[in-house]
Protein backbone atom coordinates (compact mmCIF):
# COMPACT_ATOMS: atom_id res chain seq x y z
CA UNK A 1 0.00 0.00 0.00
CA UNK A 2 1.17 3.57 -0.75
CA UNK A 3 1.88 6.00 2.07
CA UNK A 4 0.75 9.61 2.31
CA UNK A 5 2.94 11.00 5.11
CA UNK A 6 1.33 13.84 7.07
CA UNK A 7 3.20 16.33 9.28
CA UNK A 8 2.36 16.16 12.98
CA UNK A 9 1.53 13.41 15.41
CA UNK A 10 -1.07 11.61 13.30
CA UNK A 11 0.37 8.47 11.64
CA UNK A 12 0.63 8.36 7.86
CA UNK A 13 -2.31 6.97 5.94
CA UNK A 14 -1.83 3.93 3.73
CA UNK A 15 -3.89 4.65 0.65
CA UNK A 16 -2.26 3.18 -2.41
CA UNK A 17 -2.42 -0.07 -4.29
CA UNK A 18 -0.58 -3.33 -3.58
CA UNK A 19 1.62 -2.69 -6.62
CA UNK A 20 3.46 0.02 -4.70
CA UNK A 21 3.97 3.71 -5.47
CA UNK A 22 4.19 4.97 -9.03
CA UNK A 23 5.21 8.41 -7.77
CA UNK A 24 7.09 8.87 -4.50
CA UNK A 25 8.02 12.27 -3.07
CA UNK A 26 9.83 12.98 0.21
CA UNK A 27 11.22 16.23 1.58
CA UNK A 28 10.40 18.29 -1.52
CA UNK A 29 10.93 22.04 -1.14
CA UNK A 30 10.33 24.74 -3.76
CA UNK A 31 11.63 28.30 -3.41
CA UNK A 32 11.52 31.40 -5.60
CA UNK A 33 14.02 34.28 -5.42
CA UNK A 34 12.82 37.63 -4.08
CA UNK A 35 14.81 40.87 -3.64
CA UNK A 36 15.71 40.14 -0.02
CA UNK A 37 16.14 36.38 -0.20
CA UNK A 38 13.84 33.51 -1.10
CA UNK A 39 10.12 32.85 -0.82
CA UNK A 40 9.42 29.20 0.01
CA UNK A 41 6.28 28.03 -1.82
CA UNK A 42 6.48 24.34 -0.82
CA UNK A 43 8.15 23.14 2.36
CA UNK A 44 9.23 19.55 3.03
CA UNK A 45 6.31 17.95 1.13
CA UNK A 46 5.84 14.18 1.12
CA UNK A 47 3.28 12.16 -0.81
CA UNK A 48 2.99 9.08 -2.97
CA UNK A 49 0.58 7.88 -5.63
CA UNK A 50 -0.04 4.22 -6.34
CA UNK A 51 -0.58 2.60 -9.71
CA UNK A 52 -4.12 3.48 -10.85
CA UNK A 53 -4.73 5.69 -7.80
CA UNK A 54 -6.63 8.98 -8.15
CA UNK A 55 -5.39 11.64 -5.73
CA UNK A 56 -6.57 15.24 -5.26
CA UNK A 57 -4.22 17.98 -4.06
CA UNK A 58 -6.38 20.76 -2.63
CA UNK A 59 -5.92 24.15 -1.00
CA UNK A 60 -6.62 27.83 -1.47
CA UNK A 61 -4.80 30.01 -4.01
CA UNK A 62 -1.21 30.50 -2.90
CA UNK A 63 -1.08 27.33 -0.82
CA UNK A 64 1.69 25.87 -3.01
CA UNK A 65 -0.27 23.08 -4.66
CA UNK A 66 0.53 24.08 -8.25
CA UNK A 67 4.21 24.64 -7.39
CA UNK A 68 4.31 21.12 -5.94
CA UNK A 69 2.60 19.59 -8.98
CA UNK A 70 4.78 21.48 -11.50
CA UNK A 71 7.92 20.54 -9.56
CA UNK A 72 6.90 16.89 -9.88
CA UNK A 73 6.24 17.39 -13.60
CA UNK A 74 9.51 19.28 -14.11
CA UNK A 75 7.87 22.40 -15.55
CA UNK A 76 9.04 25.10 -13.13
CA UNK A 77 11.05 27.98 -14.51
CA UNK A 78 14.79 28.38 -14.22
CA UNK A 79 14.53 30.82 -11.31
CA UNK A 80 12.90 28.26 -9.02
CA UNK A 81 14.91 26.17 -6.58
CA UNK A 82 13.73 22.57 -6.16
CA UNK A 83 15.29 20.21 -3.63
CA UNK A 84 14.12 16.84 -2.35
CA UNK A 85 15.21 13.86 -0.31
CA UNK A 86 13.51 11.55 -2.80
CA UNK A 87 11.63 12.15 -6.03
CA UNK A 88 11.05 8.99 -8.04
CA UNK A 89 8.64 8.12 -10.83
CA UNK A 90 8.07 4.52 -11.85
CA UNK A 91 11.15 3.53 -9.86
CA UNK A 92 13.43 6.08 -11.59
CA UNK A 93 14.92 9.01 -9.57
CA UNK A 94 14.21 12.43 -11.09
CA UNK A 95 16.32 15.59 -10.99
CA UNK A 96 13.94 18.54 -10.83
CA UNK A 97 16.41 21.37 -10.24
CA UNK A 98 15.57 23.78 -13.10
CA UNK A 99 19.19 24.92 -13.25
CA UNK A 100 20.19 21.39 -14.24
CA UNK A 101 18.88 22.03 -17.73
CA UNK A 102 15.90 22.96 -19.89
CA UNK A 103 12.59 21.51 -18.69
CA UNK A 104 11.45 18.56 -20.74
CA UNK A 105 8.54 16.14 -20.65
CA UNK A 106 9.09 13.04 -18.52
CA UNK A 107 8.19 9.85 -20.42
CA UNK A 108 5.06 8.33 -18.89
CA UNK A 109 3.91 11.62 -17.34
CA UNK A 110 1.42 14.11 -18.84
CA UNK A 111 -0.07 17.41 -17.70
CA UNK A 112 -3.43 19.10 -18.35
CA UNK A 113 -2.72 22.77 -17.69
CA UNK A 114 -5.09 25.20 -16.02
CA UNK A 115 -5.80 27.45 -19.00
CA UNK A 116 -6.50 25.39 -22.11
CA UNK A 117 -6.64 28.53 -24.27
CA UNK A 118 -3.02 29.44 -23.58
CA UNK A 119 -1.79 25.84 -23.34
CA UNK A 120 -2.91 24.83 -26.83
CA UNK A 121 -0.93 26.21 -29.76
CA UNK A 122 -3.11 28.91 -31.38
CA UNK A 123 -1.43 28.47 -34.79
CA UNK A 124 -1.87 24.73 -35.22
CA UNK A 125 -5.24 23.06 -35.59
CA UNK A 126 -6.38 20.73 -32.83
CA UNK A 127 -6.01 17.83 -35.28
CA UNK A 128 -2.38 18.71 -36.06
CA UNK A 129 -1.50 18.87 -32.37
CA UNK A 130 -3.31 15.67 -31.53
CA UNK A 131 -1.87 13.61 -34.39
CA UNK A 132 1.62 14.82 -33.48
CA UNK A 133 1.17 13.46 -29.95
CA UNK A 134 -0.21 10.17 -31.27
CA UNK A 135 2.67 9.70 -33.71
CA UNK A 136 5.26 10.53 -31.06
CA UNK A 137 3.80 7.89 -28.75
CA UNK A 138 3.28 5.17 -31.35
CA UNK A 139 4.95 4.58 -34.67
CA UNK A 140 2.06 4.83 -37.11
CA UNK A 141 1.19 6.46 -40.41
CA UNK A 142 -0.42 9.86 -40.67
CA UNK A 143 -3.71 8.23 -41.65
CA UNK A 144 -3.63 5.91 -38.64
CA UNK A 145 -2.74 8.82 -36.36
CA UNK A 146 -5.71 10.81 -37.68
CA UNK A 147 -8.04 7.88 -37.03
CA UNK A 148 -6.72 7.48 -33.48
CA UNK A 149 -7.09 11.23 -32.96
CA UNK A 150 -10.75 10.92 -33.97
CA UNK A 151 -11.20 8.05 -31.52
CA UNK A 152 -9.73 10.12 -28.69
CA UNK A 153 -11.98 13.07 -29.48
CA UNK A 154 -15.00 10.78 -29.32
CA UNK A 155 -13.80 9.33 -26.01
CA UNK A 156 -13.67 12.80 -24.45
CA UNK A 157 -17.15 13.64 -25.75
CA UNK A 158 -16.30 15.66 -28.88
CA UNK A 159 -18.35 13.80 -31.48
CA UNK A 160 -18.13 16.37 -34.29
CA UNK A 161 -14.61 15.19 -34.96
CA UNK A 162 -14.35 16.59 -38.49
CA UNK A 163 -14.93 20.16 -37.31
CA UNK A 164 -12.84 19.86 -34.13
CA UNK A 165 -9.82 18.39 -35.96
CA UNK A 166 -9.84 21.32 -38.40
CA UNK A 167 -10.46 24.00 -35.75
CA UNK A 168 -7.87 26.10 -34.03
CA UNK A 169 -8.22 26.41 -30.24
CA UNK A 170 -9.78 29.90 -30.33
CA UNK A 171 -12.60 28.53 -32.50
CA UNK A 172 -13.77 26.18 -29.73
CA UNK A 173 -15.64 26.87 -26.50
CA UNK A 174 -13.92 26.66 -23.12
CA UNK A 175 -15.42 23.26 -22.37
CA UNK A 176 -14.40 21.91 -25.78
CA UNK A 177 -10.83 23.19 -25.35
CA UNK A 178 -10.63 21.50 -21.95
CA UNK A 179 -11.74 18.20 -23.48
CA UNK A 180 -9.28 18.62 -26.35
CA UNK A 181 -6.49 19.16 -23.79
CA UNK A 182 -7.57 15.97 -22.02
CA UNK A 183 -7.43 14.05 -25.31
CA UNK A 184 -3.95 15.43 -26.00
CA UNK A 185 -2.73 14.40 -22.56
CA UNK A 186 -4.11 10.86 -22.69
CA UNK A 187 -3.25 10.16 -26.33
CA UNK A 188 0.37 9.65 -25.29
CA UNK A 189 -0.67 6.77 -22.96
CA UNK A 190 0.80 8.27 -19.75
CA UNK A 191 1.13 6.34 -16.51
CA UNK A 192 0.48 9.51 -14.49
CA UNK A 193 -1.75 12.42 -15.50
CA UNK A 194 -1.45 15.71 -13.60
CA UNK A 195 -4.54 17.91 -14.02
CA UNK A 196 -3.94 21.47 -12.80
CA UNK A 197 -7.27 23.12 -11.92
CA UNK A 198 -9.13 21.30 -14.74
CA UNK A 199 -12.45 22.99 -13.85
CA UNK A 200 -11.31 26.52 -12.92
CA UNK A 201 -12.80 28.26 -15.98
CA UNK A 202 -16.00 26.17 -16.16
CA UNK A 203 -19.43 26.56 -14.62
CA UNK A 204 -20.77 24.10 -12.02
CA UNK A 205 -22.43 21.67 -14.45
CA UNK A 206 -19.45 21.57 -16.83
CA UNK A 207 -17.09 21.17 -13.88
CA UNK A 208 -18.88 18.01 -12.78
CA UNK A 209 -18.99 16.72 -16.35
CA UNK A 210 -15.23 17.24 -16.82
CA UNK A 211 -14.43 15.61 -13.47
CA UNK A 212 -16.64 12.62 -14.28
CA UNK A 213 -14.95 12.29 -17.66
CA UNK A 214 -11.47 12.65 -16.16
CA UNK A 215 -12.17 9.99 -13.54
CA UNK A 216 -13.76 7.60 -16.04
CA UNK A 217 -10.94 7.91 -18.59
CA UNK A 218 -8.29 7.43 -15.92
CA UNK A 219 -10.11 4.33 -14.68
CA UNK A 220 -10.56 2.91 -18.19
CA UNK A 221 -6.90 3.42 -19.13
CA UNK A 222 -5.41 2.52 -15.75
CA UNK A 223 -3.78 5.94 -15.53
CA UNK A 224 -2.84 7.32 -12.12
CA UNK A 225 -4.26 10.78 -11.55
CA UNK A 226 -3.16 13.83 -9.57
CA UNK A 227 -5.85 16.53 -9.56
CA UNK A 228 -4.84 20.01 -8.38
CA UNK A 229 -7.87 22.02 -7.26
CA UNK A 230 -9.31 24.48 -4.75
CA UNK A 231 -12.72 22.76 -4.80
CA UNK A 232 -12.48 20.38 -1.85
CA UNK A 233 -16.04 19.05 -2.12
CA UNK A 234 -15.80 18.26 -5.83
CA UNK A 235 -12.48 16.50 -5.34
CA UNK A 236 -13.85 14.61 -2.35
CA UNK A 237 -16.40 13.06 -4.69
CA UNK A 238 -14.07 12.34 -7.61
CA UNK A 239 -10.88 10.98 -6.02
CA UNK A 240 -9.65 8.04 -3.97
CA UNK A 241 -7.48 10.11 -1.65
CA UNK A 242 -6.96 13.76 -0.78
CA UNK A 243 -3.92 15.79 0.24
CA UNK A 244 -4.57 19.24 1.76
CA UNK A 245 -2.00 22.05 1.53
CA UNK A 246 -1.84 25.24 3.58
CA UNK A 247 0.95 27.85 3.45
CA UNK A 248 3.20 25.50 1.48
CA UNK A 249 2.83 22.52 3.78
CA UNK A 250 0.81 19.32 3.60
CA UNK A 251 -1.42 19.50 6.66
CA UNK A 252 -3.81 16.59 6.11
CA UNK A 253 -4.07 13.48 3.95
CA UNK A 254 -6.37 10.51 3.84
CA UNK A 255 -9.03 8.60 1.94
CA UNK A 256 -11.50 11.04 0.36
CA UNK A 257 -14.55 9.29 1.79
CA UNK A 258 -13.15 9.56 5.32
CA UNK A 259 -11.62 13.04 5.24
CA UNK A 260 -14.51 14.73 7.00
CA UNK A 261 -14.13 12.33 9.92
CA UNK A 262 -10.34 12.02 10.02
CA UNK A 263 -9.21 15.61 9.27
CA UNK A 264 -7.05 16.90 12.14
CA UNK A 265 -5.97 20.35 10.95
CA UNK A 266 -8.32 23.31 11.56
CA UNK A 267 -7.72 24.57 8.01
CA UNK A 268 -9.05 21.33 6.51
CA UNK A 269 -12.07 21.34 8.80
CA UNK A 270 -12.67 24.98 7.92
CA UNK A 271 -12.56 24.29 4.17
CA UNK A 272 -15.13 21.55 4.57
CA UNK A 273 -17.42 23.78 6.66
CA UNK A 274 -17.23 26.74 4.28
CA UNK A 275 -18.93 24.93 1.39
CA UNK A 276 -22.60 26.00 1.24
CA UNK A 277 -25.22 23.28 1.54
CA UNK A 278 -28.99 23.01 1.99
CA UNK A 279 -28.66 23.26 5.77
CA UNK A 280 -27.37 26.81 5.31
CA UNK A 281 -30.16 27.97 2.99
CA UNK A 282 -31.75 30.19 5.66
CA UNK A 283 -28.45 31.54 7.00
CA UNK A 284 -27.80 35.29 6.91
CA UNK A 285 -24.08 34.64 6.53
CA UNK A 286 -22.17 31.53 5.49
CA UNK A 287 -19.21 30.24 7.54
CA UNK A 288 -15.90 31.77 6.43
CA UNK A 289 -12.21 31.26 7.06
CA UNK A 290 -11.43 34.43 9.00
CA UNK A 291 -8.10 33.41 10.52
CA UNK A 292 -6.07 30.26 10.73
CA UNK A 293 -3.33 29.85 13.29
CA UNK A 294 -1.13 26.85 12.49
CA UNK A 295 0.28 26.67 16.01
CA UNK A 296 -0.42 23.85 18.44
CA UNK A 297 -4.05 23.76 19.51
CA UNK A 298 -5.07 26.25 16.85
CA UNK A 299 -8.74 26.64 15.98
CA UNK A 300 -10.52 28.52 13.24
CA UNK A 301 -12.50 31.61 14.03
CA UNK A 302 -15.81 30.82 12.40
CA UNK A 303 -18.50 33.34 11.51
CA UNK A 304 -21.69 32.36 13.28
CA UNK A 305 -24.64 31.11 11.23
CA UNK A 306 -28.03 32.40 12.31
Question: In this structure, what are the phi and psi dihedrals at residue 245, rounded to the nearest 5 degrees?
Answer: -115, 145
Residue 117 lies in a domain: yes
Residue 9 lies in a domain: no
The DSSP secondary structure of the chain, one letter per residue, reads --EE--SSSSPPEE-S-TT-EEEEEEEEEEEEEETTEEEEEEEEEEEEEETT-EEEEE--TTSSHHHHHHHHHT---TT-EEE-SEEEETTEE----GGGS---PPTTEEEE-S-HHHHS-SSS-HHHHHHHHHHHHS---HHHHHHHHHHHHHHTT---HHHHHH--GGGS-HHHHHHHHHHHHHHT--SEEEEESTTTTS-HHHHHHHHHHHHHHHHHHT-EEEEEES-HHHHHHS-SEEEEEETTEEEEEEEGGGHHHH--SHHHHHHHHHS--GGGTT-SS---B-----STT----B----
Pairing between strand 241-246 and 249-255? antiparallel
Residue 150 lies in a domain: yes
CB atoms within 10 A of CB 175: 20
pLDDT of residue 77: 74
pLDDT of residue 225: 95
Residue 246 lies in a domain: no
164: containing domain? 109-189
As averages over each run of 10 residues, the pLDDT of the chain (306 residues) reads: 38 44 94 91 94 94 92 85 92 76 77 79 92 86 91 91 93 86 89 88 77 89 93 90 94 92 88 74 66 40 32
Residue 68 lies in a domain: no
Q: What angle do CA 50, 55, 216 make, to 5 degrees?
A: 95
Question: In this structure, what are the phi and psi dihedrals at residue 8, rounded to the nearest 5 degrees?
Answer: 105, -175
How far is the C-alpha of 215 from the C-alpha of 234, rounded, in Å? Answer: 12
Residue 166 lies in a domain: yes
pLDDT of residue 290: 61
How far is the C-alpha of 43 from the C-alpha of 83, rounded, in Å? Answer: 10
pLDDT of residue 52: 93
State the pTM of this model: 0.81
Number of structural domains in the chain: 1
pLDDT of residue 198: 83
Residue 138 lies in a domain: yes
Residue 172 lies in a domain: yes
pLDDT of residue 148: 92
Integer distance in angstroms from the first to the last C-alpha of the chain? Answer: 45
How far is the C-alpha of 66 from the C-alpha of 296, rounded, in Å? Answer: 27
Amino acid sequence: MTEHPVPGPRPAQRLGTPAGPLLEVRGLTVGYPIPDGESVAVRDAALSIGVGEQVALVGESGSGKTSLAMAVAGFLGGSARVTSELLAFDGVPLDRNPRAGVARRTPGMAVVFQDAMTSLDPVWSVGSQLTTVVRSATRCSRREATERAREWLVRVGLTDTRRVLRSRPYELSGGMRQRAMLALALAGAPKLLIADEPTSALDASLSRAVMELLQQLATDTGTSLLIVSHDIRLCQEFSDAMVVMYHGEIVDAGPSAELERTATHPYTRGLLRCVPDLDARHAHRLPTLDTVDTGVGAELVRTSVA
